Structure 1
Amino acid sequence: MFTRNCLIFTRNSHRWVKPNGHDTGIKVFNCTARTKVPLIVKNKNLVTWYTCGPTVYDSSHIGHASCFVKLDIIQRLLRHYFNLNVVTVMNITDIDDKIIARANTAKVPPKELAKKFEAEFWKDLDALDVRRPDCVLRVTENMDVIKNFIRELIDKGKAYKAGDNSVYFDVGAYDNYAKLQNIGEDAPEPSKFKKSKMDFALWKAAKPGEISWVSEWGKGRPGWHIECSALAGHVLGPEIDIHAGGIDLRFPHHENEEAQSCARYCRPQWVNYWLHTGHLHLKDSQKMSKSLHNTISISSMLEDTTAPAFRMACLMSHYRSRMEYSNEFVITASKVLQNYINFVDNCQNYLNGYLKADVDNDTVSKLVVESANKIHSALIDDFNTSEVISTINELISAVNSILHSSRTDLCDTKSVAVIAASNLVSSTLNMFGINVNKKQSSVCDNYVEVMNILNDFRQSIRQLGISNKDKNVLELCDKVRDNLKSIGITIKDHGKMSSWS
Structure 2
Amino acid sequence: MNCIAVVIRNSSRIGCRFQHHWVKPKGFDTGVKVYNCTTKQKEPLIIRNKNYLTWYTCGPTVYDSSHIGHASCYVKLDIIQRILKDYFKYNVVTVMNITDIDDKIIRRANQENVSYADVAKKYEEEFWSELCDLGVTEPNVVLRVTENMESIVSFIEKLVDENKAYKASDNSVYFSVDTCKAYGKLQNIGKNDKQKSSVKRSVLDFALWKHSEDEPHWNSPWGKGRPGWHIECSALASKAIGSAIDIHAGGIDLRFPHHENEEAQSCGFHNTSQWVNYWIHTGYLHKKHSEKMSKSLRNTVLIQDMLQETTADAFRMACILSKYRSNMEFSKDMLKTAENVYGVFKNFITTCDDFKSQYLKATINHEHLIAALNKCAEDIHSALCDDFDTPLVMKHLNELISTTNSMLHTTSTSGHEAMDFSSVSAVQNFVMTILSTFGVNFRSSSSSSQDFGKIVDILNEFRQSVRITGIEKRDKEILSLCDHVRDSLKRHGIIIRDHGKQSSWSN
Distance 2:456 2:14 in 1: 76
**What does 1:173-188 correspond to in 2, within 5 Å?**
173-184=179-190, 186-187=192-193
Give the alignment partner of residue 479 of structure 1, picking from 484, 492, 507.
484
Give the alignment partner of residue 321 of structure 1, picking from 319, 326, 335.
326
Which runs of no fewer than 5 residues in structure 1 stay unpaired? none
Pair 1:449–1:159, CA change in 2 (3 A): closer
Distance 1:171 1:94 in 2: 27
Greater shift in the superposed pair: 457-466 or 341-350 = 457-466
Matched residue, 2:4 = none
Deviations 1:307-354 (A, max 9, x none): 111111110101110011112211211121121111011111111111
The number of residue pairs the alignment matches comes to 498
- Does residue 431 of structure 2 align to residue 425 of structure 1? yes
Distance 1:441 1:427 in 2: 19
Pair 1:445–1:107, CA change in 2 (3 A): closer
Length-normalised TM-score, structure 1 = 0.94
Which runs of no fewer than 5 residues in structure 2 stay unpaired? 1-6
Q: What amino acid sits opposite 1:35 in the alignment?
A: Q
Distance 1:475 1:411 in 2: 32
Pair 1:10–1:306, CA change in 2 (3 A): same
Pair 1:172–1:163, CA change in 2 (3 A): same
Q: What amino acid sits opposite 1:338 in the alignment?
A: G
**What does 1:179-328 correspond to in 2, within 5 Å?**
179-184=185-190, 186-187=192-193, 189-206=195-212, 208-328=213-333
Contact 2:8 2:17 in 1 (8 A): no
Pair 1:363–1:197, CA change in 2 (3 A): same
**What does 1:66-465 correspond to in 2, within 5 Å?**
66-184=72-190, 186-187=192-193, 189-206=195-212, 208-407=213-412, 409-411=415-417, 413-437=419-443, 451-452=456-457, 454-465=459-470
The CA RMSD over aligned residues, in Å, is 2.1
Greater shift in the superposed pair: 180-189 or 72-81 = 180-189
Pair 1:448–1:106, CA change in 2 (3 A): closer
Q: What amino acid sits opposite 1:233 in the alignment?
A: S
Distance 1:278 1:453 in 2: 46
> How big is the shift at 1:407?
4.2
Greater shift in the superposed pair: 478-487 or 366-375 = 478-487
Distance 1:443 1:400 in 2: 31
Pair 1:376–1:359, CA change in 2 (3 A): same
Distance 1:211 1:480 in 2: 62
Q: Identical aligned pairs, as a percentage?
A: 57
Matched residue, 1:37 = 43
> How big is the shift at 1:483?
2.2
Q: What amino acid sits opposite 1:204 in the alignment?
A: K
Distance 1:122 1:376 in 2: 32
Contact 2:19 2:188 in 1 (8 A): no
- SS of the residue corresponding to residue 187 of structure 2 reads coil
Contact 1:7 1:189 in 2 (8 A): no
> How big is the shift at 1:266?
1.1
- SS of the residue corresponding to residue 281 of structure 1 reads strand
Length-normalised TM-score, structure 2 = 0.93
Distance 2:447 2:309 in 1: 21
Contact 2:38 2:185 in 1 (8 A): yes
Contact 1:9 1:187 in 2 (8 A): yes
> How big is the shift at 1:442?
7.0
Contact 1:190 1:197 in 2 (8 A): yes
Distance 1:116 1:443 in 2: 27
Q: What amino acid sits opposite 1:225 in the alignment?
A: H
